[in-house]
Amino acid sequence: DIAADRPLAAADYRRIGAGIARLGRALRGFAHPALTGRPLLWDLRAAETLRAHAGRLPDSLPRDNIAACLDHFVTAVMPALPRLRAQTIHGDVHGHNLILGPGNAVAGFIDFGDMIHAPLVFDAGSALGDFITGPDAAEPVMGALVEGYDSVTPFEDAEIGLLYDLMLARQAATMVIIAARAADEPEAEAYMTATGFGTPDAFGHLHALGRDAATAVFRRACGLSARPAGAPGRSPVASLLDRRKRVMGSRPYVFYDPPLHIVRGEGAFLIDAGGRRYLDCYNNVPIVGHCHPRVVNAIDRQMRVLNTNTRYLGEEVLDYAERLGALTGGALTACAFVNSGSEANDIAWRMARAWTGNAGFLCQDFAYHGITEAIDAVSPSAIRQGRTPAHVRTLLAPDGYRGPHRHGTPEIAARYADDADRAIASLAGDGMKPAAVIVDSAFMTNGILAPLPGYVAALFDKVRAAGGLCIADEVQSGFGRMGAHFWGYQHHGVTPDFVTIGKPAGNGHPLGVVLTRPEILDHFCERTAFFSTFGGNNVSAAAGRAVLDVIEDGDLVRKAGETARHFHRGLKALMARHDIIGDVRSAGLAFGMELVRDRALLTPAPEETERLVNLLRDEGLLVGSEGILGNVVKIRPPLVFEPADADMALAMMDRALSRL
């Protein structure tokens, strides 16, 4: 039966939407010279031609609104069409050209006489216009049809934004065509009226519904927020903050005053609910930029095929593990997959305890390594009341600017490393030996400390001599962020026993990995039934591989080093102009700009730092604050950050510093 002869429910419209999308997929790649450039009134791009006939509409129809609809299509929609996906389409999908089988399953389409090469979304827009024949249940039909289509061929944002115009234009075109043909072909008017096409009640309802409300229906059907970035009417920040406190705790951890309502990301930029773009120089997780298309596509493709756990054999995770191991030079080739950097550090700690039989844990004095109970113990920067667990000893961070040993001190690296002797002796006094030391190669939470040659190597030697193992936490410093080398630890000339990585490995997808020596992993697995249900799942592995591809194909490690040097020179120039900058440090594309009230006394300026962070937000630049005294501006752009972006950031910083 044809669809027009059957009563249809929401589930049927979902099936129809999916069927239209499958038809579009089937027509991909089909081409013929006759499909391009032929005049066809049912082609929505003929709106200007149809507009000339709008005066022939009878008084019973909303002539002015129909004419305005076609005018809008010509002036506002037509210019956007060349940017949309285009291919051969059916061109006239409606209930009389659609055959349904048992259970209202889509059995096929007929009448291909209006086939054209046009934007892919035209078929969905025309179907929406034709299947809605009145105000009754219009929104549910719209949502169901779009949901079905999107389940097969996901809409692009630009397409969703035009669906309302396409739907309304189809109805307007139908009424104009009927009116234009009525004088010469009375039987055409009778046929088309009988089909229900061009129903003025439906057009009036959709016109009154409006673009914003209709687009909200479409976006929700696609699983998106009701309004895109930049749309008016989004919930105000105060309201969102109140809601968050009610459902996520009364002490929200948010940046900036007032907080930002971010709705979209793109490369090195974040976009707020008002459509303003911010240059993101803070978030280290999207290492290759927000929503990188290669990573997004890899996740999407794999999610549509399979996502399961490593109880089953699969090539994706093996390929990824082999590539990671090769990036360590073959030193660490065994991988344990988890879902975050916190979990990775937790497992590395457990492996170290199992291998050494020891219980002590060493970390820097203001480190941060994660949120599990075991790793929170070695994250002093996150411990509000300053309590250190009995098995943990903290080390002096190698801070040559503010620490007890300043730049220019003879054997400065050895002096800082000697603090490990104190910590190890303290553990021994309590009957313990170190099982591990954990180090972030860029010392991010200590204020981003540039590599101090020889320090980490001497520290690792002392820990190993005392029976412990060495963990390089590469969540923030790995993947080329420090330039020149892929791993941060390589800048220190060491080989750790463990490398841990987290969400930057998947550009924000939940992915964590412990890399270690095979014998350490085997020893651990002999003593515990280690398994992470979604550690190493197919989608996570696909995300991880895509990130590596982007870094390698784009030569981003080398470029990060070049951009870092350019940015560092600019920050030094700012320091020469603004006395409040006491020091500028670079660990590749990670920078610490320490603010002081007196350069000679190194008087910290935490209040000014907080104010500067908010002034930079006002300028359109996102940074953070860091350091044990809260006076270090933390700058961590993504690897796709370019010299032109750096120049933009420097100009904004110069203006904000002048206002401080």
Reported as a single tens digit per residue, the pLDDT across 393-403 is: 999 999 999 99
Output the pLDDT for position 198. Answer: 52
Give the position of tokens 């009754």.
Answer: 136
Homologous superfamily in CATH for domain 3-221 = Aminoglycoside phosphotransferase (APH), C-terminal lobe (3.90.1200.10)
Q: What is the pLDDT of residues 123-136, one digit of tens each?
A: 999 999 999 988 87
| Counts of helices then strands in the chain (DSSP H, E) | 22, 20
Q: What is the pLDDT of residue 251?
A: 79
Tokens of 352: 């170290």
Residue 184: pLDDT band (50, 70, 90) is low
Position 20 pLDDT exceeds 90: yes
Q: Long-range contacts of range 381-386, CB-CB < 8 Å, 24 or more positions apart?
A: 381/445, 381/628
- Pair 460, 496: CB distance under 8 Å: yes
Does 341-501 carry CATH code 3.40.640.10? yes
Q: What percent of the chain lies above the pLDDT cut of 70?
A: 95
- Which CATH number is associated with domain 556-659? 3.90.1150.10
pLDDT of residue 522: 97
The yes-or-no verdict on residue 189 having pLDDT over 60 is: no
Inform me whether the pLDDT recorded for 151 exceeds 90. yes
What backbone phi and psi angles, to 5 degrees, belong to 302? -70, -35
Overall average pLDDT of the 140-151 stretch: 95
Residue 23 has pLDDT above 50, yes or no: yes
Q: Please give the pLDDT value at position 352.
A: 98
Q: Identify the pLDDT of residue 190.
A: 58
Strand order through the sheet with 262-266: 262-266, 269-272, 277-280, 621-622
> Is the confidence at residue 254, as pLDDT, over 90?
no
Which pLDDT does position 158 carry in this prediction? 92
**Chain position carrying tokens 């209709």:** 214
Residue 196 has pLDDT above 90, yes or no: no
Q: Domain segments of the chain: what residues?
A: 3-221, 341-501, 556-659
Helix, strand, coil shares, percent, the chain, to 5? 50, 15, 40
The structure tokens listed for 157 are 């944002």
Q: Tell me: pLDDT of 92 over 50.
A: yes
Q: Are 260 and 244 in contact (CB under 8 A)?
A: no
Cβ contact 406:413 at 8 Å = no
Say yes or no: do domains 3-221 and 341-501 share a fold: no
> What pLDDT band is residue 197 in, cutting at 50, 70 and 90?
very low
**How confident is the model at residue 383, as a pLDDT?**
75
